[in-house]
Structure 1
């Protein structure tokens, strides 16, 4: 719906409002009178809502004249506009961070809270960022596609939110990334596709029957999708062969090493640390440094991991959980139990909070 209205000349902010109005009207009308063509009904109602809003805005009379010249709604194309809309929302008039936030909210369907959590900022800050982005594109024709790197970042964040289980968007992110990889021959596009395939392949093992979180070390690797792993590794190998390393390829290489190992103990942690070093060089991300510290703890022992951890900001998300894990491995169960409990209080995800609470209880019971 958003894609159709944008192509017909609607401003993005007004377009989004009109679509929401149409969806609300559908909730009211459809139970008693379902349409024969739901998509056509929605687009037509949304277009009429947009026209009504435009006519009511006397300060935009010049735009109203142009709207009257727009052809009346006709049959709706069956084409999938979703990926194109991702590109349009990543408009050159927006900063990359604003473009990502706007696309996640308007096209990805994520809430402001979810986007804020992905960016590690307060919800109010993210709400302001999205509002500024909408104001920036208000009145701007979305006819200049944005940057591929911005679209990749959006698809990665959409996949991660779907993978968390809060909103199941993972399959949609994979579908769109496959489309992008078929249309654009770039190693980082392939790297993202490989990464999300390798992560998605392990999805069945991430939770127990009761919905509780199962950490990587305890997962039943027999539940992993070996066909998807093989596909992800093949896509990654072709990308790496082009010798144009990017962050998604490096992340996919780490995921491939985890997927290839028969167990946590048999994982090639030394090579994983080397890939994390590449990621730090490429991104400088503090979250990457945190994950590297845990990998160092596996490769060189928990004290080496703790030493790497102390160089980081202790307010980082999951810092306390990482410290708890490394202290437990270093033979300090009392300290680990206290840190697990503290990490549980900080956790925003319910499944993660429950897991950390159980870890603290397990150590305290000893």
Structure 2
């Protein structure tokens, strides 16, 4: 059955809040998730015909709670589970209207945020955090997540199942050490966005559903933690980067580099929002890595053309960023900025000092700098080498085209 978009959006927005409420109250992550899915299915069947209830979130919590308590009572350890349910369930019973009303008056986003922090538990490796976050908080099915990351559904199901087992028994709610977990949450959202904006493999340059989901979740995080500069910085970075989305590929899906993009196709509303966010983040406290990355993106986006880009400002920002995060990606990007300010030879010297696994990107940057330095043969070889290492088909085609052009 095809749902009206407003009902589908309403269910998607409420799903993590309902799941968070059930897990906080009862525990049993797997059983709670199954109960929520049944409640969503019931809503999808009933609401188009009978109308959306006045309190949709309360309705979903009530139905999911009944499904969950029924499941717990029918378990093999029925007596023990019933004792625990009796202890955890308020005397007036969650399904009662007044209890649902109280649940609905609670801060609606707290459960979503708690669920996000639970899924990004530091003991989970990043791939497991991503999968569990997309499944529980983002509402994507296991099949959708598997398709996005180009793995078999069974493999993704195993990854999600292991992640759930890892967090089983972890205290749910608003832990005192949230600040310690925030970097893991931000990093997880950042990885989801990056995979959506530039797919690491496959036939598509972008996976817009992943990028859009990362922006949605980061926007919710920023709304819940409005004073956190890094949450604001990450949202700004995503908006400023995603603003170029429509101009990044041609009619046949081919990659268009930044300096060749039609800037009239950039999303100016997203740029304005991103600039406002990063400005507040940079002026309200010490600049963190995400705010600095957003500031670099803002310099690119505010330039009317590639020739007007303030590369000296970008290099200065990279100097600060590398001081905070001296990783290979940051140093590679700084090498490009060095080349734009001091010439391609200076950039190549920076590139020679890089260490770390970065796939095809160092060869692609080297090829670009060699081409700017006039070394066509060496640039062609570097482009060919980069194309051989790239897993994304659009990037492979772009790099091979650059190499072929230098062979003419």
| TM class, shorter-length | 0.7 to 0.9
- Aligned with 1:139: secondary structure? coil
**How big is the alpha-carbon RMSD for the aligned residues of Structure 1 and Structure 2?**
4.0
Aligned to 2:324: 282
8 Å CA contact 2:246–2:265 kept in 1: the answer is yes
The more displaced of 252-261 and 349-358 is: 349-358
**What is the alpha-carbon distance in structure 2 between the residues aligned to residue 173 and residue 196 of structure 1?**
8
- Name the CA shift for 1:336/1:105 in 2 (closer, same or farther; >3 Å): farther
TM, length-normalised to structure 2: 0.71
Q: Count how many residue pairs are aligned between Structure 1 and Structure 2.
A: 356
CA drift of 1:358 comes to: 2.2
Aligned to 1:85: 112
CA drift of 1:215 comes to: 0.8
Q: Does 2:278 correspond to 1:236?
A: yes
- Name the CA shift for 1:48/1:332 in 2 (closer, same or farther; >3 Å): farther
Aligned to 1:65: 83
Aligned to 2:215: 174
**What is the alpha-carbon distance in structure 1 between the residues aligned to residue 221 and residue 355 of structure 2?**
36
- Aligned with 1:265: secondary structure? helix
Written as runs of structure 1 = structure 2, the 5 A alignment for 1:182-221 is 182-183=223-224, 184-221=226-263
Q: Does 2:30 correspond to 1:13?
A: yes
- Aligned with 2:118: secondary structure? coil
CA drift of 1:214 comes to: 1.0
- Name the CA shift for 1:22/1:84 in 2 (closer, same or farther; >3 Å): closer
8 Å CA contact 1:279–1:288 kept in 2: the answer is yes
Written as runs of structure 1 = structure 2, the 5 A alignment for 1:95-106 is 95=122, 98=125, 100-101=129-130, 102-106=132-136
**What is the alpha-carbon distance in structure 1 between the residues aligned to residue 36 and residue 249 of structure 2?**
36
Unaligned runs of 5+ in 1: 118-123
- Aligned with 2:172: secondary structure? coil
**What is the alpha-carbon distance in structure 1 between the residues aligned to residue 50 and residue 96 of structure 2?**
15
8 Å CA contact 2:233–2:291 kept in 1: the answer is yes
- Name the CA shift for 1:239/1:262 in 2 (closer, same or farther; >3 Å): same
**What is the alpha-carbon distance in structure 1 between the residues aligned to residue 158 and residue 339 of structure 2?**
39
- Name the CA shift for 1:231/1:42 in 2 (closer, same or farther; >3 Å): closer
- Name the CA shift for 1:181/1:45 in 2 (closer, same or farther; >3 Å): closer
Aligned to 1:157: 191
The more displaced of 69-78 and 138-147 is: 69-78
Written as runs of structure 1 = structure 2, the 5 A alignment for 1:1-366 is 1-8=15-22, 9-17=26-34, 36=50, 50-51=68-69, 54-55=72-73, 57-58=75-76, 62-67=80-85, 70=89, 71=93, 73=95, 84-91=111-118, 94-95=121-122, 98=125, 100-101=129-130, 102-108=132-138, 109=140, 111=145, 133-145=163-175, 146-147=178-179, 148-164=182-198, 165-183=206-224, 184-313=226-355, 315-317=357-359, 318-364=361-407, 366=408
- Aligned with 2:308: secondary structure? coil
CA drift of 1:140 comes to: 3.5
- Aligned with 2:306: secondary structure? coil
8 Å CA contact 1:188–1:249 kept in 2: the answer is yes
Aligned to 1:120: none
**What is the alpha-carbon distance in structure 1 between the residues aligned to residue 183 and residue 291 of structure 2?**
13
CA drift of 1:245 comes to: 0.9
Unaligned runs of 5+ in 2: 1-14, 199-205
- Name the CA shift for 1:305/1:7 in 2 (closer, same or farther; >3 Å): same
- Name the CA shift for 1:95/1:178 in 2 (closer, same or farther; >3 Å): closer
